[in-house]
Amino acid sequence: MKSIIPSILWIVLLTACSHPAPVTITATMPPTQTEPATPTQTEPPIVTQTEPPFTTATPTPTPPPNSVQACVLPYRLTVRTGPGTTYAVAGVLKRSTCIYAIARNPNNTWFWEVSNANGWVSGAYLSPKGNLSSLPLISEITQTPGAIVLNPSPTATFQP
């Protein structure tokens, strides 16, 4: 029996060694050191002052003596070289443009304006700021190349 005990031990040892028990190895890493967050300083926004849009003051025209101011009513008003639609176009005035009339035709229907296109405009399309009938009467129009010369009637006090 003495020889059996060492043999049994030998068998137990061999059996135990041939089938090892599963071993689970768990690796635990030490915690990593993190640097504390350093606050970053945000640059303040750069404020630049912009110049206002460039505007020039529109000089207020000095009204001619003995003139009447009137403003255009329609979207556009044709300025003519004479008092009527048969005369050539001298220019166009936009709505709300104000003109200074300095003379009128005998019918009080057309008025000579000198503040914009320098020509005749129909009174039917004007909103006067005064009495257009008080303007000097122009009885004759003489047209010369590049200019229109007004010849006032003998009773008018208007001097062009």
- In the chain the domains, ranked by start, together with CATH numbers, are 68-152 (2.30.30.40)
* pLDDT at site 149: 52
Average pLDDT over residues 91-116: 91
pLDDT band at 131 (very low <50, low <70, confident <90, very high): very high
Q: What is the pLDDT of residues 60-88, one digit of tens each?
A: 567 888 889 999 999 999 999 999 999 99
pTM of the entire predicted model: 0.51
Average pLDDT over residues 12-35: 62
Q: Distances in Å between the alpha carbon of 155 and those of 52, 74, 103, 138? A: 53, 33, 13, 10
